[in-house]
């Protein structure tokens, strides 16, 4: 069945329903214990000599879904019965794929997908592509809702305005950022301060300013008044292309990724001064920056088989995350900051921020992943890249 139109299977509904009931106090401790005993009995039956009983147990465990997954995984590691262990290994993969695999795809772009943004309610997805277009999609149906045409260069970065009535995009070698009206998909304004390629683009959290970052002969960051297009700051210091930028949640700081100068910087938006210069932050090119939701830490990515977490106030390294390849191009925090996504060649990793544990890997892409974003619930995410397809997928609790 085409994953784009895959229905929500009963096991997924059951898993989410039970989890929600538990959160609301709808499942008592005794009921939880009884459910665990039932699952344990079904797992035991995976080693039964009766093939029909084994098949029935497998079917019931798949229907239970996520509530059974931890016990099935434990059996896959610890079961003393070889048959139970083998079948539990296969079953844990089956349940996981059904729950946390691809839910839906969004097709239409004809160029690499460079950036993704998700609306606050999770109902719309915004994408920027090297086919020069910006598109808006319905998350539930995968239908293309809007197409914003006008850039003559690759569309590199995209962002919703805080009220989500406007869209901002950067056009790389057309040397512009553009502001679009969501209602009619018409261009409202261009920001033309950069004299060379424009890659990064970001809205200030209050919507009053926008920022764009440059490359090649002009590696500055320009900040403009959103409504007038007036340039209010020119941030200079990077010696290489400024690949990505991000505002802090309070809007007082701006972070930037210096691709080939191998640094990140944190700037004071009010004064334009550099607060932190992360020299030689990565051994390879620095490709991404993302503030934590509380604004106290910053993630950076580079082409050196790791992701790093930094103290925003001090500029000191807090943690180094390993387990990724040498071409991590995209990162994003979850809404609560407890997890983050790291996209690289064909894989998106889901990390626990505190422990560094990789809790899930999404591996359905057929080429390099260049863009990632969580949905607000933290239980699903979108990703895109060189295979030109946006993919929506599930994440374990």
How buried is residue 194: exposed, middle or buried, by Cβ count under 10 Å (0-12/13-18/19+)? buried
**Going from the N-terminus, what domains does the chain have, and what CATH number goes with each?**
3-100 (no CATH), 104-394 (2.130.10.10)
Q: What are the pLDDT digits (tens) for 265-299? A: 999 999 999 999 999 999 989 999 999 999 999 99
Q: What are the pLDDT digits (tens) for 93-146? A: 788 777 778 999 999 999 999 999 999 999 999 999 999 999 999 999 999 999
- Torsions phi, psi of 111, nearest 5? -130, 170
Please state the rounded mean pLDDT for residues 72-99. 87
The highest-confidence range among 45-59, 81-95, 306-320, by mean pLDDT, is 306-320
203: β partners: 210
Report field, pTM of the whole predicted structure over 0.75: yes
Q: For residue 5, is pLDDT > 50?
A: no
Q: Name the H helices within the chain.
A: 10-23, 29-45, 51-64, 66-78, 82-100
* Residue 231: other Cβ atoms inside 10 A: 15
Q: What is the pLDDT of residue 27?
A: 62
3-state secondary structure of 22: helix
In the chain, what percentage of residues exceed pLDDT 90? 81
Q: What are the pLDDT digits (tens) for 152-189? A: 999 999 999 999 999 999 999 999 999 999 999 999 99
Please indicate whether residue 127 or residue 27 has the higher confidence score (pLDDT). Answer: 127
Q: What are the pLDDT digits (tens) for 348-371? A: 999 999 999 999 999 999 999 999
Please indicate whether residue 34 or residue 170 has the higher confidence score (pLDDT). Answer: 170
* Residue 340: other Cβ atoms inside 10 A: 22
* Residue 262: other Cβ atoms inside 10 A: 21
Please indicate whether residue 29 or residue 250 has the higher confidence score (pLDDT). Answer: 250
Q: For residue 219, is pLDDT > 80?
A: yes
Q: Tokens standing for 103? A: 């839910």
d(CA 239, CA 218): 9
Element (H, E) at 313: none
């Amino acid at each position: 069945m085409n994953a784009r139109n895959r229905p929500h299977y009963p096991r997924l509904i059951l898993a989410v329903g039970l989890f929600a009931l538990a959160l609301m106090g709808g499942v008592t401790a005794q009921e939880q214990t009884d459910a665990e005993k039932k699952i344990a009995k079904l797992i035991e039956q995976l080693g039964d000599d009766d093939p029909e009983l084994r098949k029935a147990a497998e079917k019931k465990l798949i229907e239970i879904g996520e509530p059974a997954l931890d016990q099935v995984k434990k059996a896959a590691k610890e079961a003393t019965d070889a048959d139970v262990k083998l079948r539990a290994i296969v079953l844990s993969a089956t349940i996981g794929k059904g729950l946390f695999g691809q839910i839906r795809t969004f097709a239409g772009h004809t160029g690499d997908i460079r950036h993704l943004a998700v609306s606050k309610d999770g109902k719309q997805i915004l994408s920027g592509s090297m086919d020069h277009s910006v598109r808006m999609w319905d998350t539930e149906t995968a239908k293309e809702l809007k197409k914003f045409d006008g850039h003559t260069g690759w569309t590199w970065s995209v962002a919703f305005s805080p009220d989500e009535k406007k869209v901002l995009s950067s056009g790389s070698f057309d040397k512009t950022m553009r502001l679009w009206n969501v209602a009619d998909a018409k261009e409202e304004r261009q920001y033309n301060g950069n004299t060379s390629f424009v890659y990064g683009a970001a809205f200030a959290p209050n919507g009053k300013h926008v920022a764009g970052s440059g490359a090649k002969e002009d590696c500055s960051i320009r900040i403009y008044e959103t409504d007038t297009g007036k340039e209010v700051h020119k941030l200079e210091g990077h010696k290489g292309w400024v690949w990505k930028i991000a505002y802090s949640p309070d809007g007082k700081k701006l972070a930037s990724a210096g691709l080939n100068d191998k640094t990140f910087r944190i700037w004071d938006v009010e004064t334009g001064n550099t607060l932190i210069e992360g020299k030689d932050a990565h051994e390879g090119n620095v490709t991404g920056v993302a503030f934590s939701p509380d604004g106290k830490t910053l993630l950076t990515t580079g082409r050196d088989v790791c992701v790093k977490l930094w103290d925003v106030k001090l500029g000191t390294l807090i943690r180094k995350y390993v387990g990724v390849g040498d071409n991590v191009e995209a990162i994003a925090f979850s809404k609560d900051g407890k997890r983050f996504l790291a996209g690289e060649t064909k894989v998106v990793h889901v990390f626990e921020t505190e422990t560094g544990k990789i809790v899930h890997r999404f591996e359905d892409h057929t080429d390099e992943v260049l863009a990632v974003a969580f949905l607000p619930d933290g239980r699903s995410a979108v990703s895109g890249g060189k295979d030109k397809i946006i993919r929506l997928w599930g994440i374990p609790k």
